[in-house]
Structure 1
Amino acid sequence: MTTKTRVGLIYGGKSGEHEVSLQTAFAVSQAMNYDKYEIIPFYITKQGEWKKGTPLLSPPESPLALASPTASSAKAMASIFSGLQTEEKVQVSSVSSTVSQSQAAGEDTLDVFFPLLHGTFGEDGTIQGLLEMANMPYVGAGVLASAVGMDKVFMKKAFAAEGLPQCVYRHFTRSQWEKAQSDLIMETEISIGYPSFVKPANLGSSVGITKANNRDELIQAVEYALRFDRKVIVEENIDAREIEVAVLGNDEPQASVPGEIVSSSEYYDYKAKYVDGKSTMIIPAEIPAELASELREMAIRAFQAVDGSGLSRVDFFVRREDQAVMINEINTMPGFTPFSMYPLLWKETGKSYGELLDDLIRLALERHAAKQKIQYTMDE
């Protein structure tokens, strides 16, 4: 009898993208091959409480079923950290006792974790750091790539160091805005002008983004963005097509065919992404072969610029005026339902959703095995 790989799905989270995460976890649990994998759900509530369910023997019936694992044994995270076995909820306060102690105590351990968390505390390096300290394999980007991929300012600095073309932008913190608002407005108007886009530096799913057409709207947009983060980024408006490329791999990543987003609104905000259902995806994008090759090559460069691993989606602007390409951002935990852009791009490239899951788990295990060769002490 072949031993199944035990996969811990981590989903939910203390984030504005909690419901999106539930949809992603439901889709992944539906598509997993239960002859190959044993799936253990780890649900994080909106309050940050961890709850563990019993192993899934078959696909769950709904996302709601995934969000109520307390009906079963609720020893959340006992498979990661011994000694943290409060029945109803677990506050993670220590990571000194890890997997080896759980094994010594005869507890079942997991082979790999699959974080399906979007946004804050899931896509920003925090959960990745927790799993690194536990020395557990996990799917997706590491601490550095996750943190850089979440922070749009440092992301852009990494892209600039790689020589990737970008739009004009400015950034500042809340304290800078409070101390020198007039100077920042003047600098932004001179370097960027109107219209411009104002965004929180650290947030996903286009939350907090506003288009400013004049000074009053710029001030309102900055104040709005500062509700979601202490740092704001302002970007120039570009009349461009939005093209996205999926990347898969570790040290030798591959890029999918490009796809195009046609937004239902003036720009691709949260409502256009998740609410009205009117935005469309054109896969593959109707662009010349030379441009498609350029975008795929640039996507891999962007992935490597942040030290990516596992998966990422890289988003570009292709200016209508002259077909110039500018990188917009990298998303280290993109939407991952079968109807999301990332899996659909790979489907068009020749890889099914199930094959994609297999590859991601394999890549996670390979990356973890490679890291075990690193020496962390000076002992001979």
Structure 2
Amino acid sequence: MNQATQTAPAGNGKPEKAKADNYVRIEGIRKEFDGFVAVDDVSLSIRKGEIFALLGASGCGKSTLLRMLAGFEKPTAGEIILDGQSMNNIPPYDQAVNMMFQSYALFPHMTVEQNVAFGPTQKKMPKDEVARRVEEMLALVQMSKFAKRKPHQLSGGQQQRVALARAVATSPKLLLLDEPMAALDKKLRSQMQIELVNIVERLNVTCIMVTHDQEEAMTMAHRVAVMDAGRIRQVGTPDEIYEQPNSRFTAEFIGSVNLFEGRIGEDETDHVTILSPQMETPIYVGHGITGYDGMSVSFAIRPEKVHIDKDEPAQKYNKVRGVIEEIAYFGSHSVYHVRLQSGAKVLCNFVNMKRWASENFTWNDVVWLSWNDNSGVVLTS
């Protein structure tokens, strides 16, 4: 993904850049329902023009946070600030915020153009301005030729485009997307993810989306906040979240991961070794960490970073022998489930560069797994 668009600085640029970097500020937000804490002391800063994803499992608090941003729920504590203005006491209909709902919520009795015109008309824009705005929005989402149709005459992807056009027709300062791809099938979802990002970036509107779909968040967002039990566990770019998780929770929640439990053996400035009962030899990490000898840690490594071979690798560390127990074929790659002598299971991705490449390995083969000293990450929490 491209980085979020930044406002061009004026003068020395510092005030303008600070304003752009803190376009949406969520400060110590808390929300309780009859004693249940749905959102617990969340603070975030979102940049102007950024697509920001709130990612988490059902019940983690992400939708409640989105509803507070939309003004549908009032925070129990904390403040939401948009473009320098506190939004806590502004009713939803007076906010410069629009939401595209998961179900799209198009008016069934209205045509496509009437749906898109609804917001500008409610804002009492002049008729010619409303007509011009509707024409622009329908052209942007490539729905001009469907202007006279009713929602039930459209496909799921077409309904989504109309819902987006309606949401941005009033030029909101903040666009909220609630599970925007949930109603689409997998193939259409992949296509619409890219299309939606391109439209949002063309409009240069700041966007916050809620999703439980990791692929959706990683594909669409400039930055991602991983939520759990009402709290933010980690914020970062998609590659930061994936490659440098800050905890076991994030490592396990995002994608597939192999985790080895152990304790620190050698703790040097240029390397660390981890003694794990799951491994026959120490795990060697090619950099130092903030820790101490004997400290309990986890070592996380993604399946695509693990090499598989029938012959024992020449390297001294980071290798282990096992037996192929399961094979999952995905076309572009195969995933091998390898059972180690310790009883632990390790996942390994094998890229199918040529036809029938996966025939190199089959069930019950004895194989060696190995990885480089910079391929994994040491987790202390």
Q: Same fold (TM over 0.5)?
A: no
Could you state the TM-score of these two structures normalised by the residue count of structure 1? 0.25
Higher relative strand content? 2
TM-score, structure 2 as length reference: 0.25
**Which has more radius of gyration?**
2
